[in-house]
Structure 1
Amino acid sequence: MTTQLLNGNLLAKEIKNEISNIIEKKILNENKRMPHLGIILTGNNSSSITYVNNKIKECKNIGIQYSLIHLPINTLENKLLEEIKKMNRNPYIDGFIVQLPLEKHMNQDKIILSIDPKKDVDGFHPENFGKMSLGMKAFFPATALGILTVLERYKIQIYGKHTVVIGRSRIVGRPISILMSRKNYFGNSTVTITHSKTKNIEFYTKQADIIIVAVGIPKFLKGKMIKKGAVVIDVGIHNHENKILGDVDFYSVYGRASYLTPVPGGIGPMTRVMLLKNTLMAALNNRK
Protein backbone atom coordinates (compact mmCIF):
# COMPACT_ATOMS: atom_id res chain seq x y z
CA MET A 1 0.00 0.00 0.00
CA THR A 2 1.16 3.53 -0.78
CA THR A 3 1.27 5.68 2.36
CA GLN A 4 0.66 9.40 1.95
CA LEU A 5 2.54 11.59 4.38
CA LEU A 6 0.54 14.39 6.01
CA ASN A 7 2.81 17.40 5.58
CA GLY A 8 2.37 19.61 8.63
CA ASN A 9 5.07 22.03 7.48
CA LEU A 10 3.22 22.74 4.24
CA LEU A 11 -0.17 23.12 5.94
CA ALA A 12 1.28 25.38 8.63
CA LYS A 13 2.74 27.63 5.95
CA GLU A 14 -0.67 27.90 4.25
CA ILE A 15 -2.39 28.74 7.54
CA LYS A 16 0.25 31.34 8.44
CA ASN A 17 -0.49 33.04 5.12
CA GLU A 18 -4.19 32.99 6.00
CA ILE A 19 -3.46 34.51 9.42
CA SER A 20 -1.28 37.20 7.79
CA ASN A 21 -4.13 38.09 5.42
CA ILE A 22 -6.58 38.40 8.32
CA ILE A 23 -4.12 40.57 10.26
CA GLU A 24 -3.68 42.84 7.25
CA LYS A 25 -7.41 43.10 6.58
CA LYS A 26 -8.84 43.36 10.09
CA ILE A 27 -5.98 44.91 12.06
CA LEU A 28 -3.45 46.79 9.92
CA ASN A 29 -5.99 48.28 7.51
CA GLU A 30 -8.00 49.52 10.47
CA ASN A 31 -4.90 50.96 12.18
CA LYS A 32 -5.20 48.66 15.17
CA ARG A 33 -2.24 47.33 17.10
CA MET A 34 -0.77 43.92 16.24
CA PRO A 35 -1.73 40.81 18.22
CA HIS A 36 0.50 40.28 21.24
CA LEU A 37 1.36 36.88 22.76
CA GLY A 38 2.79 36.55 26.26
CA ILE A 39 4.97 33.59 27.23
CA ILE A 40 5.99 32.58 30.75
CA LEU A 41 8.76 29.99 31.01
CA THR A 42 10.15 28.57 34.23
CA GLY A 43 13.38 26.67 34.76
CA ASN A 44 15.89 25.25 32.31
CA ASN A 45 14.10 22.29 30.73
CA SER A 46 15.81 21.98 27.35
CA SER A 47 12.67 20.78 25.55
CA SER A 48 10.63 23.65 26.95
CA ILE A 49 13.27 26.17 25.92
CA THR A 50 13.28 24.71 22.40
CA TYR A 51 9.47 24.84 22.21
CA VAL A 52 9.42 28.46 23.40
CA ASN A 53 12.14 29.50 20.94
CA ASN A 54 10.18 27.89 18.11
CA LYS A 55 7.05 29.76 19.16
CA ILE A 56 8.95 33.05 19.26
CA LYS A 57 10.36 32.32 15.80
CA GLU A 58 6.83 31.77 14.46
CA CYS A 59 5.67 35.06 16.01
CA LYS A 60 8.54 36.91 14.33
CA ASN A 61 7.84 35.28 10.97
CA ILE A 62 4.22 36.38 10.97
CA GLY A 63 4.63 39.75 12.70
CA ILE A 64 2.86 38.91 15.95
CA GLN A 65 4.35 40.72 18.93
CA TYR A 66 5.51 38.70 21.93
CA SER A 67 6.75 39.15 25.48
CA LEU A 68 8.82 36.48 27.21
CA ILE A 69 9.18 36.17 30.97
CA HIS A 70 11.81 33.53 31.80
CA LEU A 71 11.85 32.75 35.51
CA PRO A 72 14.83 30.90 37.03
CA ILE A 73 14.67 27.35 38.32
CA ASN A 74 13.19 27.03 41.85
CA THR A 75 11.17 30.22 41.41
CA LEU A 76 8.54 30.35 44.16
CA GLU A 77 4.99 29.56 43.09
CA ASN A 78 3.79 32.96 44.36
CA LYS A 79 6.26 34.71 42.03
CA LEU A 80 4.83 32.83 39.05
CA LEU A 81 1.29 33.72 40.17
CA GLU A 82 2.34 37.39 40.33
CA GLU A 83 3.60 37.28 36.73
CA ILE A 84 0.35 35.64 35.61
CA LYS A 85 -1.65 38.33 37.37
CA LYS A 86 0.37 41.00 35.55
CA MET A 87 -0.38 39.42 32.17
CA ASN A 88 -4.05 39.02 33.07
CA ARG A 89 -4.22 42.77 33.75
CA ASN A 90 -2.02 43.95 30.88
CA PRO A 91 -4.36 45.35 28.18
CA TYR A 92 -1.64 45.11 25.54
CA ILE A 93 -1.26 41.33 25.87
CA ASP A 94 -4.08 39.60 24.03
CA GLY A 95 -3.30 36.07 25.19
CA PHE A 96 -0.54 34.22 26.95
CA ILE A 97 0.74 30.77 27.84
CA VAL A 98 2.59 29.26 30.77
CA GLN A 99 4.92 26.70 29.22
CA LEU A 100 4.45 23.21 30.63
CA PRO A 101 5.74 21.16 32.36
CA LEU A 102 6.26 23.26 35.48
CA GLU A 103 8.81 22.70 38.22
CA LYS A 104 7.80 19.88 40.59
CA HIS A 105 7.13 22.23 43.49
CA MET A 106 4.47 24.09 41.46
CA ASN A 107 0.77 23.20 41.65
CA GLN A 108 -0.09 22.93 37.93
CA ASP A 109 -3.86 23.05 38.46
CA LYS A 110 -3.58 26.16 40.62
CA ILE A 111 -1.42 27.85 37.98
CA ILE A 112 -3.80 27.03 35.11
CA LEU A 113 -6.81 28.18 37.14
CA SER A 114 -5.12 31.56 37.73
CA ILE A 115 -5.03 32.36 33.98
CA ASP A 116 -7.81 34.59 32.66
CA PRO A 117 -9.89 32.28 30.39
CA LYS A 118 -10.19 35.12 27.87
CA LYS A 119 -6.39 35.12 27.52
CA ASP A 120 -5.90 31.34 27.80
CA VAL A 121 -4.68 30.71 24.25
CA ASP A 122 -3.37 27.28 25.28
CA GLY A 123 -6.99 26.26 25.94
CA PHE A 124 -6.18 24.51 29.24
CA HIS A 125 -8.37 26.50 31.64
CA PRO A 126 -11.42 24.47 32.80
CA GLU A 127 -13.74 27.17 31.46
CA ASN A 128 -12.36 26.78 27.93
CA PHE A 129 -12.15 23.00 28.27
CA GLY A 130 -15.73 22.82 29.49
CA LYS A 131 -17.00 25.06 26.69
CA MET A 132 -15.16 22.91 24.15
CA SER A 133 -16.81 19.81 25.65
CA LEU A 134 -20.21 21.42 25.25
CA GLY A 135 -19.60 22.54 21.67
CA MET A 136 -19.40 26.22 22.60
CA LYS A 137 -16.98 28.80 21.26
CA ALA A 138 -13.69 28.62 23.17
CA PHE A 139 -9.93 28.37 22.83
CA PHE A 140 -9.13 24.77 21.90
CA PRO A 141 -5.81 23.19 22.97
CA ALA A 142 -3.39 23.86 20.12
CA THR A 143 -2.18 20.30 19.49
CA ALA A 144 -5.68 18.84 19.38
CA LEU A 145 -6.81 21.65 17.08
CA GLY A 146 -3.75 21.03 14.89
CA ILE A 147 -4.61 17.34 14.54
CA LEU A 148 -8.21 18.10 13.62
CA THR A 149 -7.07 20.70 11.08
CA VAL A 150 -4.67 18.24 9.41
CA LEU A 151 -7.46 15.69 8.99
CA GLU A 152 -9.87 18.35 7.71
CA ARG A 153 -7.45 19.97 5.24
CA TYR A 154 -6.45 16.59 3.79
CA LYS A 155 -10.17 15.76 3.47
CA ILE A 156 -9.84 12.60 5.53
CA GLN A 157 -13.30 11.32 6.40
CA ILE A 158 -13.85 10.92 10.14
CA TYR A 159 -17.67 10.75 10.14
CA GLY A 160 -18.71 7.32 11.34
CA LYS A 161 -15.12 6.12 11.62
CA HIS A 162 -13.61 4.41 14.64
CA THR A 163 -10.84 6.48 16.21
CA VAL A 164 -8.50 5.04 18.82
CA VAL A 165 -6.61 7.61 20.89
CA ILE A 166 -3.53 6.33 22.73
CA GLY A 167 -2.89 8.69 25.63
CA ARG A 168 -5.20 10.57 28.00
CA SER A 169 -3.39 13.83 28.81
CA ARG A 170 -5.24 17.13 29.11
CA ILE A 171 -2.98 18.50 26.38
CA VAL A 172 -3.74 15.95 23.64
CA GLY A 173 -5.61 12.75 24.48
CA ARG A 174 -8.67 14.10 26.24
CA PRO A 175 -9.30 17.15 24.05
CA ILE A 176 -8.83 15.32 20.73
CA SER A 177 -11.21 12.58 21.86
CA ILE A 178 -13.84 15.28 22.47
CA LEU A 179 -13.24 17.06 19.17
CA MET A 180 -13.31 13.86 17.11
CA SER A 181 -16.58 12.70 18.65
CA ARG A 182 -18.46 16.01 18.75
CA LYS A 183 -21.71 16.42 16.87
CA ASN A 184 -20.35 18.75 14.23
CA TYR A 185 -19.87 19.10 10.49
CA PHE A 186 -16.39 17.67 11.02
CA GLY A 187 -16.78 15.12 13.80
CA ASN A 188 -19.11 12.22 14.58
CA SER A 189 -16.29 9.71 14.94
CA THR A 190 -16.68 6.89 17.46
CA VAL A 191 -13.77 7.28 19.88
CA THR A 192 -12.01 4.75 22.11
CA ILE A 193 -9.44 6.12 24.58
CA THR A 194 -6.55 3.83 25.47
CA HIS A 195 -3.25 4.42 27.26
CA SER A 196 -0.05 2.76 28.40
CA LYS A 197 -1.91 0.73 31.05
CA THR A 198 -4.54 -0.63 28.63
CA LYS A 199 -4.40 -4.43 28.50
CA ASN A 200 -4.14 -6.01 25.05
CA ILE A 201 -4.01 -2.62 23.36
CA GLU A 202 -3.60 -4.29 19.95
CA PHE A 203 -7.20 -5.48 20.22
CA TYR A 204 -8.28 -1.84 19.92
CA THR A 205 -5.67 -0.53 17.51
CA LYS A 206 -6.30 -3.31 14.99
CA GLN A 207 -9.97 -2.25 14.81
CA ALA A 208 -9.22 1.44 14.35
CA ASP A 209 -9.77 3.44 11.18
CA ILE A 210 -7.85 6.34 12.70
CA ILE A 211 -5.17 6.09 15.40
CA ILE A 212 -3.89 9.15 17.26
CA VAL A 213 -0.76 8.32 19.29
CA ALA A 214 0.23 10.62 22.16
CA VAL A 215 1.53 8.14 24.72
CA GLY A 216 5.04 9.58 25.18
CA ILE A 217 6.91 6.34 24.40
CA PRO A 218 9.27 6.27 21.39
CA LYS A 219 8.24 3.88 18.58
CA PHE A 220 5.33 2.56 20.67
CA LEU A 221 2.94 1.84 17.80
CA LYS A 222 4.24 -0.90 15.48
CA GLY A 223 3.03 -1.81 12.03
CA LYS A 224 1.71 -5.17 13.27
CA MET A 225 -0.62 -3.29 15.64
CA ILE A 226 -2.68 -1.59 12.91
CA LYS A 227 -4.97 -2.77 10.17
CA LYS A 228 -4.07 -2.06 6.57
CA GLY A 229 -5.30 1.33 5.43
CA ALA A 230 -5.53 2.96 8.86
CA VAL A 231 -4.83 6.68 9.26
CA VAL A 232 -2.04 7.21 11.81
CA ILE A 233 -1.37 10.52 13.56
CA ASP A 234 1.89 10.64 15.54
CA VAL A 235 1.98 13.34 18.22
CA GLY A 236 5.12 12.20 20.03
CA ILE A 237 8.57 13.70 19.65
CA HIS A 238 11.71 12.38 21.31
CA ASN A 239 15.42 13.12 20.96
CA HIS A 240 16.94 9.64 21.08
CA GLU A 241 20.64 9.13 20.36
CA ASN A 242 20.69 12.32 18.25
CA LYS A 243 17.68 11.13 16.26
CA ILE A 244 14.20 12.65 16.36
CA LEU A 245 11.64 9.90 16.93
CA GLY A 246 7.88 9.85 17.36
CA ASP A 247 5.53 7.56 19.25
CA VAL A 248 5.09 5.57 16.01
CA ASP A 249 7.60 3.08 14.64
CA PHE A 250 7.62 4.95 11.33
CA TYR A 251 9.21 2.36 9.04
CA SER A 252 7.05 -0.54 10.19
CA VAL A 253 3.86 1.53 9.87
CA TYR A 254 4.80 3.11 6.54
CA GLY A 255 3.34 0.95 3.78
CA ARG A 256 0.47 -0.32 5.97
CA ALA A 257 -1.13 3.01 6.83
CA SER A 258 -3.02 5.01 4.20
CA TYR A 259 -1.96 8.32 5.79
CA LEU A 260 0.82 9.00 8.29
CA THR A 261 2.25 12.10 9.93
CA PRO A 262 6.06 12.30 9.92
CA VAL A 263 8.16 13.31 12.92
CA PRO A 264 9.40 15.96 12.67
CA GLY A 265 7.29 17.96 10.22
CA GLY A 266 3.86 16.62 11.11
CA ILE A 267 1.87 17.77 14.13
CA GLY A 268 4.64 19.92 15.66
CA PRO A 269 4.41 22.84 13.21
CA MET A 270 0.61 22.59 13.29
CA THR A 271 0.61 22.98 17.07
CA ARG A 272 2.64 26.18 16.81
CA VAL A 273 0.48 27.69 14.10
CA MET A 274 -2.71 26.89 16.04
CA LEU A 275 -1.29 28.86 18.97
CA LEU A 276 -0.89 31.81 16.59
CA LYS A 277 -4.45 31.30 15.39
CA ASN A 278 -5.73 31.34 18.99
CA THR A 279 -3.70 34.50 19.66
CA LEU A 280 -5.27 36.15 16.63
CA MET A 281 -8.71 35.11 17.87
CA ALA A 282 -7.97 36.63 21.27
CA ALA A 283 -6.78 39.86 19.60
CA LEU A 284 -9.92 40.12 17.48
CA ASN A 285 -12.07 39.49 20.56
CA ASN A 286 -10.26 42.29 22.37
CA ARG A 287 -10.80 44.69 19.47
CA LYS A 288 -14.60 44.36 19.59
Structure 2
Amino acid sequence: MSVPSSALVFSTVVTRLRAAGCVFAEDEARLLLSSAHSPVELAAMVDRRVAGLPLEHVVGWAEFAGLRIAVDPGVFVPRRRTEFLVERAVALTRPGAVVVDLCCGSGALGAALAAAVAGVELYSADVDPAAVRCARRNVAAERVFEGDLYEPLPAGLTGRVDVLLANVPYVPSGEIGLLPVEAREYEARVALDGGTDGLDVLRRVTAGASRWLAPGGRMLFETSERQTPQAVETVARGGLVPSVAVSEELYATVVTGTRPLG
Protein backbone atom coordinates (compact mmCIF):
# COMPACT_ATOMS: atom_id res chain seq x y z
CA MET A 1 0.00 0.00 0.00
CA SER A 2 1.39 3.42 -0.97
CA VAL A 3 1.18 6.69 0.92
CA PRO A 4 -2.16 8.48 0.37
CA SER A 5 -1.37 11.26 -2.09
CA SER A 6 -2.46 14.87 -1.98
CA ALA A 7 -1.65 17.91 -4.06
CA LEU A 8 0.27 19.42 -1.13
CA VAL A 9 2.39 16.32 -0.48
CA PHE A 10 3.12 15.89 -4.18
CA SER A 11 4.06 19.55 -4.56
CA THR A 12 6.34 19.43 -1.52
CA VAL A 13 8.19 16.36 -2.80
CA VAL A 14 8.54 17.84 -6.29
CA THR A 15 9.93 21.08 -4.87
CA ARG A 16 12.58 19.23 -2.85
CA LEU A 17 13.58 17.04 -5.76
CA ARG A 18 13.76 19.92 -8.18
CA ALA A 19 15.91 21.94 -5.76
CA ALA A 20 18.27 18.96 -5.61
CA GLY A 21 18.64 19.01 -9.39
CA CYS A 22 16.35 16.13 -10.33
CA VAL A 23 15.38 16.83 -13.95
CA PHE A 24 12.30 14.60 -13.89
CA ALA A 25 11.11 15.70 -10.45
CA GLU A 26 7.41 15.12 -11.12
CA ASP A 27 7.91 11.57 -12.40
CA GLU A 28 10.23 10.75 -9.50
CA ALA A 29 7.78 12.18 -6.99
CA ARG A 30 5.00 9.95 -8.31
CA LEU A 31 7.24 6.91 -8.08
CA LEU A 32 8.35 7.71 -4.53
CA LEU A 33 4.76 8.30 -3.42
CA SER A 34 3.63 5.00 -4.92
CA SER A 35 6.57 3.10 -3.37
CA ALA A 36 6.50 4.41 0.20
CA HIS A 37 4.34 2.61 2.74
CA SER A 38 4.10 5.44 5.26
CA PRO A 39 4.77 9.17 5.54
CA VAL A 40 7.89 8.39 7.58
CA GLU A 41 9.21 6.06 4.87
CA LEU A 42 8.38 8.62 2.20
CA ALA A 43 10.34 11.31 4.03
CA ALA A 44 13.33 8.98 4.38
CA MET A 45 13.20 8.05 0.70
CA VAL A 46 13.05 11.68 -0.38
CA ASP A 47 15.99 12.48 1.91
CA ARG A 48 18.06 9.71 0.33
CA ARG A 49 17.19 10.86 -3.18
CA VAL A 50 17.98 14.49 -2.38
CA ALA A 51 21.33 13.36 -0.96
CA GLY A 52 22.18 11.93 -4.39
CA LEU A 53 21.32 8.24 -4.09
CA PRO A 54 20.14 6.85 -7.45
CA LEU A 55 16.36 6.66 -7.62
CA GLU A 56 16.58 2.94 -8.34
CA HIS A 57 18.53 2.36 -5.13
CA VAL A 58 15.97 4.40 -3.21
CA VAL A 59 12.96 2.40 -4.40
CA GLY A 60 14.88 -0.88 -4.71
CA TRP A 61 14.21 -1.66 -8.35
CA ALA A 62 14.75 -0.50 -11.92
CA GLU A 63 12.57 -0.87 -14.99
CA PHE A 64 14.55 -2.61 -17.72
CA ALA A 65 13.28 -4.09 -20.98
CA GLY A 66 9.76 -4.22 -19.56
CA LEU A 67 10.83 -5.99 -16.37
CA ARG A 68 11.09 -4.81 -12.78
CA ILE A 69 14.66 -5.65 -11.74
CA ALA A 70 15.66 -5.62 -8.08
CA VAL A 71 18.63 -3.28 -7.57
CA ASP A 72 20.37 -3.23 -4.19
CA PRO A 73 22.48 -0.33 -2.83
CA GLY A 74 25.91 -0.21 -4.44
CA VAL A 75 24.91 -2.38 -7.40
CA PHE A 76 25.20 -1.06 -10.96
CA VAL A 77 21.86 0.30 -12.20
CA PRO A 78 20.93 -1.12 -15.64
CA ARG A 79 20.83 1.68 -18.21
CA ARG A 80 18.08 2.12 -20.76
CA ARG A 81 20.63 2.21 -23.61
CA THR A 82 21.64 -1.35 -22.70
CA GLU A 83 18.19 -2.51 -23.79
CA PHE A 84 19.68 -2.30 -27.31
CA LEU A 85 22.20 -4.98 -26.32
CA VAL A 86 19.34 -7.19 -25.17
CA GLU A 87 17.44 -6.49 -28.38
CA ARG A 88 20.42 -7.59 -30.46
CA ALA A 89 20.91 -10.70 -28.34
CA VAL A 90 17.24 -11.70 -28.55
CA ALA A 91 17.43 -11.57 -32.34
CA LEU A 92 20.36 -14.01 -32.28
CA THR A 93 19.17 -16.43 -29.59
CA ARG A 94 17.22 -19.58 -30.37
CA PRO A 95 14.84 -21.25 -27.89
CA GLY A 96 16.75 -23.47 -25.48
CA ALA A 97 20.09 -21.76 -26.12
CA VAL A 98 22.89 -21.80 -23.56
CA VAL A 99 23.47 -18.21 -22.44
CA VAL A 100 26.14 -16.75 -20.16
CA ASP A 101 25.85 -13.27 -18.66
CA LEU A 102 29.33 -12.14 -17.55
CA CYS A 103 29.77 -9.01 -15.39
CA CYS A 104 26.09 -9.56 -14.75
CA GLY A 105 25.55 -6.91 -12.06
CA SER A 106 21.89 -7.14 -11.06
CA GLY A 107 21.34 -9.87 -13.63
CA ALA A 108 19.16 -7.59 -15.73
CA LEU A 109 20.48 -8.61 -19.15
CA GLY A 110 20.12 -12.31 -18.55
CA ALA A 111 16.69 -11.87 -17.00
CA ALA A 112 15.49 -9.84 -19.98
CA LEU A 113 16.85 -12.32 -22.52
CA ALA A 114 15.36 -15.28 -20.66
CA ALA A 115 12.00 -13.51 -20.55
CA ALA A 116 12.07 -12.95 -24.30
CA VAL A 117 13.34 -16.35 -25.51
CA ALA A 118 11.76 -19.62 -24.40
CA GLY A 119 13.76 -22.24 -22.55
CA VAL A 120 17.05 -20.35 -22.31
CA GLU A 121 19.64 -22.12 -20.15
CA LEU A 122 21.06 -19.08 -18.35
CA TYR A 123 24.23 -18.79 -16.27
CA SER A 124 25.41 -15.51 -14.71
CA ALA A 125 28.60 -14.40 -12.99
CA ASP A 126 30.07 -11.32 -11.34
CA VAL A 127 33.13 -10.58 -9.22
CA ASP A 128 31.22 -8.27 -6.86
CA PRO A 129 29.53 -10.14 -3.95
CA ALA A 130 26.83 -7.46 -3.66
CA ALA A 131 25.98 -7.84 -7.35
CA VAL A 132 25.83 -11.63 -7.02
CA ARG A 133 23.42 -11.39 -4.08
CA CYS A 134 21.25 -9.02 -6.10
CA ALA A 135 21.32 -11.12 -9.28
CA ARG A 136 20.19 -14.15 -7.30
CA ARG A 137 16.94 -12.26 -6.66
CA ASN A 138 16.36 -11.66 -10.37
CA VAL A 139 17.37 -14.95 -12.01
CA ALA A 140 17.76 -18.58 -10.91
CA ALA A 141 19.97 -18.29 -7.83
CA GLU A 142 21.66 -21.66 -8.31
CA ARG A 143 23.07 -20.48 -11.65
CA VAL A 144 24.59 -17.21 -10.44
CA PHE A 145 28.28 -17.54 -9.63
CA GLU A 146 30.72 -15.28 -7.79
CA GLY A 147 34.19 -14.87 -9.22
CA ASP A 148 36.40 -13.28 -11.84
CA LEU A 149 34.90 -13.53 -15.33
CA TYR A 150 34.92 -17.19 -16.54
CA GLU A 151 36.65 -18.58 -13.44
CA PRO A 152 33.53 -19.56 -11.44
CA LEU A 153 31.54 -20.99 -14.39
CA PRO A 154 30.90 -24.75 -14.54
CA ALA A 155 33.59 -26.44 -16.64
CA GLY A 156 30.87 -28.29 -18.53
CA LEU A 157 29.95 -25.05 -20.33
CA THR A 158 33.24 -25.02 -22.21
CA GLY A 159 32.53 -24.93 -25.95
CA ARG A 160 28.75 -25.00 -25.39
CA VAL A 161 27.80 -21.33 -24.98
CA ASP A 162 25.55 -20.06 -27.77
CA VAL A 163 25.30 -16.46 -26.56
CA LEU A 164 27.76 -14.68 -24.29
CA LEU A 165 26.54 -11.38 -22.90
CA ALA A 166 29.38 -9.29 -21.49
CA ASN A 167 28.33 -5.86 -20.27
CA VAL A 168 31.90 -5.11 -19.27
CA PRO A 169 32.94 -1.85 -17.59
CA TYR A 170 34.31 0.46 -20.27
CA VAL A 171 34.86 3.87 -18.66
CA PRO A 172 38.57 4.82 -18.75
CA SER A 173 39.99 5.11 -15.22
CA GLY A 174 40.85 8.77 -15.68
CA GLU A 175 37.27 9.61 -16.61
CA ILE A 176 35.51 8.05 -13.61
CA GLY A 177 35.55 11.46 -11.91
CA LEU A 178 33.57 12.92 -14.81
CA LEU A 179 30.63 10.57 -14.31
CA PRO A 180 27.41 11.81 -12.65
CA VAL A 181 27.57 11.70 -8.87
CA GLU A 182 24.95 8.94 -8.82
CA ALA A 183 27.35 6.61 -10.61
CA ARG A 184 30.73 7.54 -9.19
CA GLU A 185 29.64 7.64 -5.55
CA TYR A 186 26.90 5.03 -5.34
CA GLU A 187 27.82 2.29 -7.81
CA ALA A 188 30.71 -0.11 -7.38
CA ARG A 189 33.85 1.13 -9.16
CA VAL A 190 34.51 -2.39 -10.42
CA ALA A 191 31.32 -2.09 -12.49
CA LEU A 192 32.51 1.14 -14.14
CA ASP A 193 36.31 1.18 -14.42
CA GLY A 194 37.63 -0.33 -17.64
CA GLY A 195 41.29 0.54 -17.08
CA THR A 196 43.49 3.10 -18.79
CA ASP A 197 41.66 3.09 -22.13
CA GLY A 198 38.45 1.48 -20.90
CA LEU A 199 39.10 -1.81 -22.69
CA ASP A 200 41.07 -3.84 -20.13
CA VAL A 201 38.18 -6.08 -19.06
CA LEU A 202 37.01 -6.48 -22.66
CA ARG A 203 40.45 -7.76 -23.66
CA ARG A 204 40.30 -10.42 -20.95
CA VAL A 205 36.77 -11.48 -21.84
CA THR A 206 37.56 -11.65 -25.55
CA ALA A 207 40.75 -13.63 -24.97
CA GLY A 208 38.74 -16.44 -23.40
CA ALA A 209 35.58 -16.24 -25.46
CA SER A 210 36.52 -18.73 -28.19
CA ARG A 211 37.15 -21.42 -25.59
CA TRP A 212 33.66 -21.06 -24.12
CA LEU A 213 31.60 -20.31 -27.22
CA ALA A 214 30.10 -23.09 -29.31
CA PRO A 215 30.96 -23.01 -33.03
CA GLY A 216 28.85 -20.21 -34.43
CA GLY A 217 28.29 -18.86 -30.92
CA ARG A 218 28.23 -15.12 -30.37
CA MET A 219 29.62 -12.70 -27.82
CA LEU A 220 27.85 -9.34 -27.47
CA PHE A 221 28.94 -6.27 -25.56
CA GLU A 222 28.27 -2.54 -25.34
CA THR A 223 30.95 0.07 -25.92
CA SER A 224 31.25 3.78 -26.71
CA GLU A 225 31.37 5.20 -30.21
CA ARG A 226 34.92 6.43 -29.57
CA GLN A 227 36.13 2.99 -28.47
CA THR A 228 34.45 1.02 -31.24
CA PRO A 229 37.46 0.73 -33.63
CA GLN A 230 39.71 -0.62 -30.87
CA ALA A 231 36.95 -2.90 -29.59
CA VAL A 232 36.49 -4.38 -33.06
CA GLU A 233 40.25 -5.01 -33.33
CA THR A 234 40.19 -6.70 -29.93
CA VAL A 235 37.39 -9.02 -31.02
CA ALA A 236 39.23 -9.94 -34.21
CA ARG A 237 42.47 -10.65 -32.31
CA GLY A 238 40.47 -13.04 -30.12
CA GLY A 239 39.63 -15.12 -33.18
CA LEU A 240 36.04 -13.90 -33.52
CA VAL A 241 34.37 -12.25 -36.50
CA PRO A 242 33.21 -8.76 -35.44
CA SER A 243 30.16 -6.77 -36.47
CA VAL A 244 28.78 -3.47 -35.16
CA ALA A 245 25.23 -2.24 -34.61
CA VAL A 246 24.22 1.28 -33.56
CA SER A 247 21.01 2.69 -32.09
CA GLU A 248 20.77 6.42 -32.71
CA GLU A 249 17.68 6.59 -30.50
CA LEU A 250 19.39 5.08 -27.44
CA TYR A 251 22.85 6.39 -28.30
CA ALA A 252 24.13 2.84 -27.97
CA THR A 253 26.78 0.81 -29.79
CA VAL A 254 26.86 -2.98 -29.64
CA VAL A 255 29.69 -5.11 -30.97
CA THR A 256 29.10 -8.80 -31.75
CA GLY A 257 31.90 -11.31 -32.12
CA THR A 258 31.02 -14.65 -33.76
CA ARG A 259 33.09 -17.80 -33.37
CA PRO A 260 33.62 -19.25 -36.83
CA LEU A 261 32.11 -22.64 -37.64
CA GLY A 262 34.49 -25.57 -37.90
Shorter chain as denominator, the TM-score bin is 0.3 to 0.5
TM-score normalised by L of structure 2: 0.44
In terms of fraction of residues, the more strand-rich structure is 2
TM-score normalised by L of structure 1: 0.40
Q: Which has the higher contact order (CA 8 A, sep 6+)?
A: 1
